[in-house]
Amino acid sequence: MSTTVDEASESPKSSESSADPFVHPALFYRGEAEYLAGTVPFVLDGLAAGEPVAVAVPAGNLALLRAELGADAERVRLLDMGEAGRNPGRIIPGVLRAFADAHRGTPVRIIGEPIWPSRSELEYPACAQHEALINLAFTGRDVTILCPYDADRLTSDVLADAEATHPVVIDTTGHRNSPAYAPDRVVATYNQPLPEPAVPVEAVEAAAATDIPKARRLAGARAAGAGLPASRVADVELAVTELLTNSLDHGGGTGTLHIWLDGGRFVCEVRDRGTLADPLAGRRPARPGHPRGRGLLLVNQIADLVRLHTDSGGTVIRTYFHI
């Protein structure tokens, strides 16, 4: 897979001596009062300074914050992270950079809560990798992203990961630098072979361009048969086409499509022999005048969950569509 460097976001602008303007603290909160004490002043200080402020948190916390902010809530971009960030892979391009890039040239504040107690085991590795990749995606940007963590209800492993994905941790004792900060390690730790499906799997190999429309039609037929509505069948067809096209171009010339049903989810997975070297592939917003390289971005935006494993032996991209 090709590596495109987006000079607008990732160039190391700061020398070793100058501090990176990007700030990415985790907020460990226990209960509503601590949640509000940790988030409301962050929002109000931003508004007072004339900074654009966005809040992308799960619906319950969004309602809590909206009520507490009162009229000030109208000056804040409010998003339900359960919807906007259902697939963690779409949060950087679709939520965080979408907001920050719309306000270039001014400091921007965002509250982003991508991890909550009911995130499944299936989703969590993608969540942790997302948190780690925020650091890479925003290096050099004058942006602050505050990430609340429910310290009462999340496991100690999740909180330990948060200390590795955030350079600073905030709790009732104040701000502290996180000595465990090691985002690359988190990306690598959760880059694991995906669990084999426990149900029968249909598999077809695409080794030539003419196989791609056939694989697409098969996936579309299976998606429709599984009960997905026409708009989601179209999304499945798009995802399968983009993944297999990437396999033909960058994945050793052959991609194998696997299709199965996992409870209430329709699953499409593409395996190939390529290695995805760019950790931000599919996580950069589209740039005007740069029409190429939008396939994985599209897959991240339309699937309910994308899980990925890549190493020197090949790449597996598994996409989930809720039925």
| CA atoms of 26 and 271, how far apart (whole Å) | 35
List 12, 70, 105, 200, residue binding other proteins (CB under 8 A): 200
Rank residues 49 and 208 by Cβ distance to other proteins and give the closer one.
208
Nearer to other proteins, 163 or 237 (CB): 237
Helix axes 230-250, 295-302, angle to 10 degrees: 150
Q: Considering the rule CB under 8 A, would residue 256 count as an interface residue with other proteins?
A: yes
User: Is 118 or 231 the residue whose CB approaches other proteins more closely?
Assistant: 231
For the CB of residue 137, give the shortest distance to other proteins in the complex, in Å: 17
Q: For the CB of residue 140, give the shortest distance to other proteins in the complex, in Å.
A: 22
Q: Which residue has the tokens 């361009």?
A: 209
Query: Between 63 and 208, whose beta carbon lies closer to other proteins?
Result: 208
Query: Which of 13, 75, 176, 217 is in the footprint of other proteins by CB under 8 A?
Result: 217
User: To 5 degrees, how large is the angle CA 255–CA 129–CA 167?
Assistant: 155
Minimum CB–partner distance for residue 293 and other proteins (Å): 9
Sole binder of other proteins in the list 68, 80, 211, 278 (CB under 8 A):
211
Encoded tokens for 227: 């009960």
Q: How many residues bind other proteins (CB under 8 A)?
A: 40
Spatial separation of the C-alpha atoms in residues 41 and 44, rounded to whole Å: 5
Q: 98: which 2 tokens? A: 């979408």
Concatenating the DSSP letter of every residue in 160-229 gives: HHHHHH-SEEEETTEEEE-TT--HHHHHHHT--PPPPPSS--EEEEE-STTHHHHHHHHHHHHHHHTT--
Name every residue whose Cβ is closer than 8 Å to that of residue 178 and which is 6 or more positions away in sequence: 26, 163, 164, 166, 167, 168, 169
Q: What is the C-alpha separation between 25 and 176, in angstroms, rounded?
A: 9
For residues 119 and 158, give the distance between their C-alpha atoms in angstroms, rounded to a whole number. 11
Q: Which span sits near other proteins by CB under 8 A: 15-23, 42-50, 163-171, 289-297?
A: 289-297
Residue 12 CA to residue 23 CA, distance in Å, equals 15
Task: Supply 212's token pair.
Answer: 């791609």
Least distance between other proteins and beta carbon 288 (Å): 4
Reading across the β-sheet that carries 174-177, which strands appear in turn? Answer: 77-80, 53-57, 108-112, 143-150, 25-29, 168-171, 174-177
Nearer to other proteins among residue 117 and residue 227 (C-beta):
227
Q: Is 215 in the site for other proteins (CB under 8 A)?
A: yes
187 binds other proteins (CB under 8 A): no
- Sites for other proteins among residues 300-319 (CB under 8 A): 301-302
Q: In angstroms, what is the minimal distance from the CB of 100 to other proteins?
A: 15
Q: Is residue 123 within the footprint of other proteins (CB under 8 A)?
A: no
From the list 234, 262, 275, 323, which residue makes contact with other proteins (rule: CB under 8 A)? 234
154, 180, 182, 204: which one contacts other proteins (CB under 8 A)?
A: 204
- 78 near other proteins, rule: CB under 8 A: no
Q: What is the distance between the alpha carbons of residues 100 and 91, in angstroms, rounded to a whole number?
A: 12
For the bound state, the minimum distance from the C-beta of residue 292 to other proteins, rounded and expressed in Å, comes to: 6
DSSP, residue by residue, 225-248:
HTT--HHHHHHHHHHHHHHHHHHH
Rounded to a whole number of angstroms, the minimum distance from the CB of residue 295 to other proteins is 5
Residues making contact with other proteins (CB under 8 A): 200-206, 209-218, 230-231, 234-235, 237-238, 241-242, 245, 248, 256, 258, 286-288, 291-292, 294-295, 297-298, 301-302
